[in-house]
Chain A
């Protein structure tokens, strides 16, 4: 995989989010690391992942399923796993792939 910031979908994601929310450099570094780790876990680069998700709903759902198990493995708590999933969900959403978003589970 090339430098994560070199992919068009990643550039679009950063531009879209920063248009409204202006995240700090540190925050972006953290988010990009999560996306990069997820890409490695699913053995796919960001552009190809989005292309697949936009082209095939089943693929998109499968990515979300794999995201859940990835987040669980990487996180110490449900809360942290949810936050981690949200980073990748945000990447999908800002590239036009509609994914289910939920708030923190109650209780």
Chain B
């Protein structure tokens, strides 16, 4: 699917065809896409556990659903991808190793100052990095665990955003939910047998939508002019109407919610599934 179409069509799908399984190939393709997400130092802190709802024991299924307050979309979606941030795998040593690798493969040019020696001096000994390369001594040297955790979490959130686009590209519906309430995180880790150093970020629900793929239209967006600025805050980045028109034609900007018939659709779905209207 065209990139702009994918972004334009992405919605948080909340009503799934609970009976329709998702092909494993599509799940793999989503995971493969996320492997190629951007992240600092190429540390790739995201991890995922794919859970097929119908392969769970009743006890485990109920436990996982309870962690998400039995949200109806979670109950319905046949595939649950639990995304974690590997905090222990995001410390200074990981940065050092991965940045060495980036130098060795030619991603970080030595002519900007990126050498093994400069990297080790900055990360291990806290010496100033030469101008031209990132001031990694201030970012990574003596990196406290809470900072590593923050980096791991924020980069995994970014990966999750890519994962939602990857799902749309596969023609399936998707939605990110809170994996667990804070007090149940240890239980979640235990149930999925993940290491202590993995922090749950989102559970990505995947399934075929019971609502139409547009799910009632595009969600309201904050005005362009109060979101984006030029030079300094307060001076809106000018929005060229021609670009907007082009993006409409290319499928990024679509009909806003609620599209005509949205509440009729919801009424029909509530009746079909047996939810109170």
Question: Which chain A residues have a beta carbon within 8 Å of chain B's beta carbons?
Answer: 17, 20-23, 79, 82-83, 85-87, 89-90, 93, 100-104
Stretch with Cβ within 8 A of A (4 or more), from B175-183, B239-247, B249-257, B267-275: B267-275
**Minimum C-beta distance from A107 to chain B (A):** 11
Question: Is B277 an interface position by the 8 A CB rule?
Answer: yes
B267 & A21 in contact (Cβ 8 Å cutoff): yes
- Is B276 an interface residue, CB under 8 A from the partner? yes
From A20, A79, A87, A100, contact of B263 by CB (8 A): A20
Question: A15 CA to B170 CA in the complex, in Å?
Answer: 40
Closest to A90 in B: B276
B72: Cβ under 8 A from any A Cβ: yes
Chain B contacts to A: CB under 8 angstroms: 18, 70, 72, 75-76, 263, 266-267, 273-277
CB-CB under 8 A from B266, the residues of chain A are 20-21
Is A103 in contact with B275, judged by CB distance below 8 angstroms?
yes
Q: Is the CB of B277 within 8 A of A103?
A: no
Chain B positions within 8 Å of A20 at CB level? 263, 266
Enumerate chain A residues within 8 angstroms of B263, measured Cβ to Cβ. Answer: 20-22
A93 to chain B, nearest CB (A): 6
Using A21-B263, A101-B72 as known contacts, say yes or no to A86 and B273 having CB atoms under 8 A apart: no
The answer to whether A103 and B276 touch across the interface, beta carbons within 8 angstroms, is no
Q: How far is the CA of A86 from the CA of B276 in the complex (A)?
A: 4
Rounded to whole Å, the gap between the CB of B271 and the closest CB of chain A is 8
Q: Which residues of B contact A103 (CB under 8 A)?
A: 18, 72, 75-76, 273-275
* Residues B277 and A83 in contact, CB atoms below 8 Å apart: no
Q: Which 7 A-B pairs have the closest CB atoms?
A: A104-B274, A86-B276, A90-B276, A89-B276, A103-B273, A103-B274, A20-B263
Q: Which residues of B contact A83 (CB under 8 A)?
A: 274
Q: Which residues of chain A are near B76, meaning CB under 8 Å? A: 103
CA A61 – CA B191 in complex, angstroms?
30
Q: Across the two chains, which residue of chain A brings its CB closest to B76?
A: A103
* B residues less than 8 Å from A102 (CB atoms): 274
Residue of A at shortest CB range from B262?
A20
Q: Is the CB of A104 within 8 A of B276?
A: no
Alpha-carbon distance between A86 and B275 when the two chains are bound, in angstroms: 7
Expressed in whole angstroms, the Cα–Cα distance for A95 and B130 within the complex equals 64
Q: Roughly how many angstroms separate A87 CA and B277 CA in the complex, as a whole number?
A: 7
A93 adjacent to B274 (CB under 8 Å): no
Chain A residues near B276: list those with CB within 8 A: 85-87, 89-90, 93, 101
**Can you list 24 residue pairs at the A/B interface with Cβ under 8 Å?**
A17-B277, A20-B263, A20-B266, A21-B266, A22-B263, A79-B274, A82-B274, A83-B274, A85-B276, A86-B275, A86-B276, A86-B277, A89-B276, A90-B277, A93-B276, A101-B72, A101-B275, A101-B276, A102-B274, A103-B18, A103-B72, A103-B273, A103-B274, A103-B275
> What is the bound-complex CA distance between A22 and B273, given in angstroms?
19
Q: Which residues on A sit within 8 Å (CB–CB) of B72?
A: 101, 103
A104→B273 contact, CB < 8 A? yes
Q: What is the distance, in angstroms, from A100's C-beta to the closest C-beta of chain B? A: 8
